[in-house]
Amino acid sequence: MYYLYFLANASLTLRVADYLRQANHLSVQFVTVIHQIDGWIIKIKLREPVTPQEHGDFKAYMSELGIPYEPEIRIQMAFWSLETGQSPIDVMRRYQVAIVSHGAPEKSDIEAFRRQFTRGLGYCPETLA
């Protein structure tokens, strides 16, 4: 079972990562975070199915922060490649996507990406706020 959402900025993405680190009732297998110029894509894959109540609660939480996302084929292929064990660097080169994190939900990866990107630009775009 997986959830795929589009989030507007880094703060919302960090909030989801923090929630997932604390959500013991969800058996998170991995989280993939991709940054795009207009926002963030987050894919959350669970090891085990959840109860209908947990599913509804989690969808409600995610819908407060973002919108369900239907990826274009390039993004679908990037997700598939990561799931089959290909390295994030190879996937980024092949599909021209910015993979911020893949694996355990790590706030530090998102924060480091945001700092480095902002430093390179010299200002903070709205999606990195």
Structure-token pair, residue 12 = 């919302």
pLDDT at position 125 is 67
Structure-token pair, residue 38 = 């207009």
Q: State mean pLDDT over 61-90.
A: 97
pLDDT at residue 14 tops 80? yes
- Are the C-beta atoms of residues 39 and 8 closer than 8 Å to each other? yes
- Are the C-beta atoms of residues 2 and 44 closer than 8 Å to each other? yes
pLDDT at residue 97 tops 80? yes
Output phi, psi for 72, to 5 deg: -70, 170
Residues with Cβ < 8 Å from 58, sequence gap 6 or more?
3, 26, 50
pLDDT at position 126 is 73
pLDDT grade for 99, boundaries at 50, 70 and 90: very high
Per residue in 1-10, pLDDT (tens digit) is 999 999 999 9
Domains parsed from the chain with CATH numbers: 2-118 (3.30.70.1950)
Per residue in 18-75, pLDDT (tens digit) is 999 998 889 999 999 999 989 999 999 999 999 999 999 999 999 999 999 999 999 9
Read off the pTM.
Answer: 0.91
Which residue matches tokens 């660097």?
A: 89
